[in-house]
Amino acid sequence: MTSLLQTASLSSLSSSRSLLPNPSSRSRIPFPKGIRCSVGEPLKYANGKPFIPLLRDEMLPNFLTRTTHAVNAASKNDTRLRIFSGTANPALSQEIACYMGLELGKIKIKRFADGEIYVQLQESVRGCDVYLVQPTCPPANENLMELLIMIDACRRASAKNITAVIPYFGYARADRKTQGRESIAAKLVANLITEAGANRVLACDLHSGQSMGYFDIPVDHVYGQPVILDYLASKTICSDDLVVVSPDVGGVARARAFAKKLSDAPLAIVDKRRHGHNVAEVMNLIGDVKGKVAVMVDDMIDTAGTISKGAELLHQEGAREVYACSTHAVFSPPAIERLSSGLFQEVIITNTIPVSEQNYFPQLTVLSVANLLGETIWRVHDDCSGGFEPYSTLGID
């Protein structure tokens, strides 16, 4: 009798287990008749790939029904990807995490009375792919040091891969020697990030392309142009009236690429002579802007001296409206006064650098690059390329 009960129990348990999908052969399990998966809700993502459950809880035996707590725990731990945010731009980090359907990792960052930075991860990252979101925006030295300590903390916590997500790379303008006995700070910062333990860098709109060569680790360079182009395309501006303007000779390649994507608009160049750091003097204009809508394109706006003097020249040459487009809004004084003086119809920037509320003015429009960076993180994590539509303009190789 006992053996019969054991046999019946084993047979019942075996039949119950047969209802559960085998992870190794999930694709070979046939759908039961009359059962359809509802995909009306947003799909849950595991490692960047949609996961549609084959069985519902009501199909399982009572003792195998998953509780809500168990489901949440499983969905939370089903990926080895972790995103941590520094204190430089937590709002952007939260937007990236929301786009990816993940939660920001728990991290403790504080400063001692003497200014030293303390970092402690509040969760395990052993064997995980860790992404640290921290732009080195002002105060540049504070945020850079914080990033280095975060990388070191992850390395000592046995993270498998550490990617420094740097929406704005400070010291990028110090990428070459223009005079004798100058430092190349961009190379120095690249060495610091590499030696701290980063395995990869994800940067957005570097000041110059050669900065990627300063790193001895892979660099994924994405561009904020698609975000700004999509916004401009939504505005009712006739393509025949557009002209893209480069505020200096060094940005001609950037402006030409921007103009090609903007209905192949004509190009104009502002020729300037710089007499000192953050001081610019406009000399003349190359191209025709009379009666046209001028779109000035640059990678960053610092004191706004270059772009405001260029706007004055464009108005003198007969431009009907002037738009300023830039990925990085550094906004060092007196940038706000110059940009809000009435020279610009609209100033379009992105949120790679946080803009404080007191720096907002009526002509300012802030676009988010969270989806751009979030999609790039997924593709880096899944070892995919960004060279196919609809993300062919991401600039990922």
The pLDDT tens digits of the residues spanning 84-93 come to 999 999 999 9
pTM: 0.77
Please check whether the two domains, 81-222 and 225-353, share a CATH topology.
yes
CATH architecture group of domain 225-353: 3-Layer(aba) Sandwich (3.40)
Question: Which residues sit opposite 117 in a β-bridge?
Answer: 111
Q: Which pLDDT score is estimated for 30?
A: 40
May I ask the CATH class of domain 81-222? alpha beta
What pLDDT is recorded for position 204?
A: 97
Beta-carbon count within 10 A of 97 CB: 21
DSSP annotation of 316 reads: H
- Over 70: is that where the pLDDT of 325 sits? yes
Of residues 261 and 3, the one with the higher pLDDT is 261
Mean pLDDT score, 304-331: 95
More confident residue, 63 or 112: 112
Cα separation, 369 vs 228, whole angstroms: 10
Asked if pLDDT for residue 101 goes beyond 60, the answer is yes
Note the pLDDT tens digit of each residue in 355-395.
Answer: 999 999 999 999 999 999 999 999 999 987 654 344 444 44
Comparing 5-19, 169-183, 240-254, which segment has the lowest mean pLDDT?
A: 5-19
User: Any idea where the domains of the chain sit in the sequence?
Assistant: 81-222, 225-353
Average pLDDT score, the chain: 82
Locus of tokens 């990807």: 81
Provide the pLDDT confidence category of residue 280 given band limits of 50, 70 and 90. Answer: low
DSSP 302: S
Paired sense of beta strands 107-111 and 219-222, if any = unpaired
pLDDT mean over 136-146: 97
Show Cβ contacts of residue 134 under 8 Å, excluding neighbours closer than 6 positions.
Answer: 85, 86, 88, 89, 143, 146, 147, 150, 164, 165, 166
Only one residue has tokens 């790939």, namely 49
Residue 5, pLDDT score? 42
